[in-house]
Amino acid sequence: MEEKMEFMSNDVQKPASYGTSIKDGVDKFHFWRVFFKHYAYLVVTGLIYGPTIHLIIATKLALELVGAMTESLGLGPTYLINKMEEGAQVMAVNSYPRCPSPDMALGLPPHSDYSCLTILLQSSPGLEITDPGDGKWKIVPEFQGTLQVHVGDHLEVLSNGLYRSILHRGTVNSERTRISIASLHSLGMDEKMGTAKELVDDQHAEEYKESSFRDFLNFLSNNDIGEGKSFKSTLIRDKDMRT
């Protein structure tokens, strides 16, 4: 506990932090989890934390996937590679202990990730996503030894909505502790992500505002996502602002 307390912080911009909610003692809503979050790789500040092999493998996979996705958009496979290579990787290790009343608690509230991509490994089922067809929550089934990949807000912005970030939440259970390791990949701290100009024309208006990783952290500092506030909602342009 003494070691944990050294990292206990409500400062979402701190490179490494331990806690339970997003901002312990500040947010109104609290969740059934403990976590350790760290900026695993951030060229801007020269910070490197965590197991190097895992970081390298997760980053390599993220670059390959992003390259395939930008190629599918007609932008080419290297459209984001340089910026992603010099970007940020945030890792969060989450523990969701056994809960006596799982129907009355959540491990994490509904949200989408700010990043371009999130690569997730979980020890047991507990992640739920919304079905685009009916909007209902559905649990992601267990696939032993596999990684799950989520599209994040910034890739939705880049693609002008052709790719959609996934709304998801973390549930808890009364039988066993669930562990998840999430690796979030984005551009650098102050690098703005905007919609690719190649995807905007007279028939396709620019639907999103640009933003950076730091903009997201500032949003977290000033809002409680447990109240249902969404970073992505701040990026959607009003109809009269679309070009």
Domain with residue 74: its CATH number is: 2.60.120.330
Give the count of beta carbons closer than 10 Å to the beta carbon of residue 17: 19
φ/ψ of 73, rounded to 5, equals -85, 0
Residue 11 placed within a domain: no
pLDDT tens digits, 164-206: 999 999 999 999 999 999 999 999 999 999 999 999 999 999 9
Instruction: Provide the pLDDT confidence category of residue 38 given band limits of 50, 70 and 90.
Output: confident
Residue 13 placed within a domain: no
Domains in the chain, number: 1
For 205, left (φ over 0), alpha (ψ -120 to 50), or beta? beta
Residue 16 placed within a domain: no
Residue 8 placed within a domain: no
Gap between the Cα atoms of 146 and 166, Å rounded: 18
Residue 27 placed within a domain: yes
Residue 14 placed within a domain: no
Average pLDDT on 133-146 reads 88
Residue 227 placed within a domain: yes
What are the beta bridge partners of residue 182? 92, 120
Where is 71: in which H helix or E strand? helix 52-72
Please give the residue range of the domain that contains residue 146.
21-234
